[in-house]
Amino acid sequence: MLIDSGSNSNIIDDRTWAQMKQSKVKVSNQQRCSDKTFLANGAKEPLKVLGSFDALIKRGSMPLPVSVAMSSTLIANELLAFIQHAIDTMDEVSILQICKTNFKEEEISSGKRLLYMSLDKLDQMPSRRRDGTEKSVQDIITLLKVTDPDDVPTFVAKDLHKLPPVTFDHVDVTRLLKDIIFLKTSLSEVQSKLEVSEKTIQELRAEVVLLRNTMSVSRSPDEASKVNTRRGAQNLSVCSFASADFDASAVIGECNAPIAKEVSASTPRRVYADAAAPNPSCVTLPRAPAPAPARVPCPAPLPAAPSVLLPRRDEDGFELVQRKKRRPKPTKNRCGKAPTKPKQLVRAAQPNTPVYISRLHYSVKRESIVQYVRQKLKYTLRVQELESNRNVNFKAFVVRVPNCFLHLVLNEDFWPQNVVFRRFRGQVPPERTKT
């Protein structure tokens, strides 16, 4: 027996509809789908409506028309309704803790058996003998996750007071913090992608402006001649229409010569007074036709400037960029090539390298170094004595050696034993004149 609920639409499950068809109940206005939405108590998603129909029910001897909607299977079980609703929003640990503290072991075992029976998997149900409350809830969660949601019936709550409340005591705060951090990182990635997309849009806009300017440069002369320059239309483009490729022919055209009007030497006020003064002797005559404008030759148009050469691009849209050639500097140093003689008045100075010589006896003088090098190289060098800031028992000198003799001077066989030598580092101090 079905009882009218008093609402606009009644709802039955598919099993009841099968029983009604077997009983050959008369219905009308059958529809496969319906635009009505039904939400079960405690459910997150609306019910899947399979169809709707109209029927007549009798209240005593008075028939009443009712509208009935068919949905998927509805099963009343508070435990399964809570788990089916919370499985998408809560973690398994929280669901296990809530179900273990709010439902009895008999309710959990009966709900587990009901779920396996509704899915025709009763032979696959594992048996839990000793304290199987937590493991049974885990089996329910696992089965709901591995089963297609379309194959799972909709579980509803009949006794609402049995639905457990969800408080902060049942929520894993650590997981919430992890989710918040993940959301922050995802938001930062979205912002970075948005900035990149904005830059890409700006580049595309710049390319569109460049293409527009290119089209304005490559316009034909006929299109450029139709532009009204009196109203400032020539300023719409960055480039002038004069850069278009006009035909530079020597044909002379004809144009209308402007008619010059005679201007009186008197002041403007007197001219206006003479024109506005009434003259009774004047007679109104019909206006004479204006004389035809004279034809004067116009100068030939100037040759057009060459059009702007646009960079060529390959098939992928890349431009070949070449480095500009540097202009020769007018003040660049140059080197002479004229041959020189040994005793020529004007000759180039030989480049030299300072060489540091140290650990020489305190009795050695600068003239001794000059004489020693002259005997070795047959060349007189410039020698400078270095003064130390502290008291030492040896002397040091700087010898300016031409580069042609540098390999001989820096040889170990050139200097006496225990004499230290190397290239001088730093700046050579200026020579001091003793008085």
- Which of the pair, 167 or 413, is modelled with greater confidence? 413
Would the pLDDT of 354 be above 90?
yes
- Which of the pair, 349 or 218, is modelled with greater confidence? 349
Edge-to-edge order in the sheet of strand 382-386: 382-386, 394-402, 352-361, 420-423
- Which of the pair, 378 or 61, is modelled with greater confidence? 378
Both tokens of 153, joined, read: 């019936």
User: What integer is the mean pLDDT of 96-112?
Assistant: 85
Greatest mean pLDDT among 93-102, 184-193, 255-264 lies in 184-193
Query: Is 30 in contact with 51 (CB distance < 8 Å)?
Result: yes
Handedness of CA 218, 224, 228, 229 (dihedral sign): positive
Percentage of the chain beyond pLDDT 70 is: 66
Q: Closest Cα partner for 85 from 173, 165, 179?
A: 165
Q: How far apart are CA 275 and CA 260, in angstroms?
A: 19
Would the pLDDT of 267 be above 60?
no
**What is the length of the chain?**
435
Q: How far apart are CA 16 and CA 72, in angstroms?
A: 10
Q: Which DSSP state fits 41?
A: T
pLDDT digits (tens, 9 = 90+) for 106-119: 888 888 888 888 88
Question: How confident is residue 243, by pLDDT bands cut at 50, 70 and 90?
Answer: very low
Query: Is 202 in contact with 177 (CB distance < 8 Å)?
Result: no
Handedness of CA 353, 357, 362, 363 (dihedral sign): negative
Contacts of 264 (CB under 8 A, 6+ apart): 270, 271
pTM, to two decimals:
0.33
Q: Which pLDDT belongs to residue 207?
A: 92
Both tokens of 234, joined, read: 């020539």
Q: How far apart are CA 76 and CA 157, in angstroms?
A: 5
Domains plus CATH for the chain? 10-72 (no CATH), 76-115+127-141+158-173 (no CATH), 352-423 (3.30.70)
Q: Which pLDDT belongs to residue 86?
A: 83
Q: Which pLDDT belongs to residue 324?
A: 83
Quote the mean pLDDT of the chain: 75
Would the pLDDT of 73 be above 90?
no
Q: Which pLDDT belongs to residue 421?
A: 94
Half-sphere exposure of 189 (CA within 13 A, CB side): 6
Q: How many degrees, rounded to 5, is the angle at CA 102 between CA 97 and CA 107?
A: 110
Q: Which pLDDT belongs to residue 233?
A: 52
* Continuous H helices in 119-247: 133-146, 173-217, 221-225
